[in-house]
Each structure stands twice: as C-alpha cells, then as structure tokens.
Amino acid sequence: MTPNGSQQGISPDIFSTDFLLGNVGAPFLVGMAVGFFAKKVSKIAILVGGALLVMLFLAESWDLITVKDGAVLDVASKAAGALKETGTLLTERLKVMSTQGGSAIAGFFVGLKAG
C-alpha cells in the first residue's frame, strides 16, 4: 500500500487506456462504436425529418398543400417507436455478443453519451 491508500501498481483512473483495454476489452469497444454510430444516425434522421416538416409547413402557409396535424403526429409516433425498437434490438444483440455482455452494453451507453 502506498501512503495515499491505493495499492502499488494499480491505476486509480478507470478511464485510462491501460484499464479499459486490459480489463474491459473488445466487447466494450464494440458497444461504444455501435452507440456512437447510433446517436450520429439518429441526429441525422432528426435533422432530415425536421427539414421535411419545415418544408411541409412552408408549403401549407403558401396554400400549396394542406397538412393534417393528426397525420403528422401519427408519423412522429411511428418514428419514435421505430427508434425505440432499434435501440432495443441493438442492446439485445450486444448482450449475446460474449460472456461479458454487460461490458458491451456499458460501452453502448458510453458511445451514446459521447456521440
């Protein structure tokens, strides 16, 4: 034991590269990559969807089309359901990746946060 109470040779920094690669490993890194990708794709989908909505609302204000609020809300609800289903599918797949499924899931959420 060192004077500060930590064991000699053990790094107290759990986010160091040595700790992550040595103790967490490949499932964590794969999960992190999947989470990062999922968040980026979600942001792009929301950007495109928002742009389409703005174009629909502009076309409606110029009396080119009529937009029904119920239809817009129905499409938004279906899109949210599809996003939730995709997230469930990804986490279930990462769980069975290895015996360290928790590591892959933790990596997924770290990737979502980082993305």
Say if 7 falls within a structural domain: no
Percent of the chain with pLDDT over 70: 76
Residue 8 within a domain:
no
Predicted confidence band of residue 11 (pLDDT cuts 50, 70, 90): very low
Q: How far apart are CA 21 and CA 41, in angstroms?
A: 26
This prediction has a pTM of 0.70
Residue-range definition of the domain harbouring residue 39: 26-114
The answer to the question of residue 72 being in a domain is yes
Tell me how crowded residue 31 is: count the other CB atoms within 10 A of its CB.
30
Overall size of the chain counted in residues: 115
| DSSP-derived secondary structure letter, 88 | H
Number of domains comprising the chain: 1
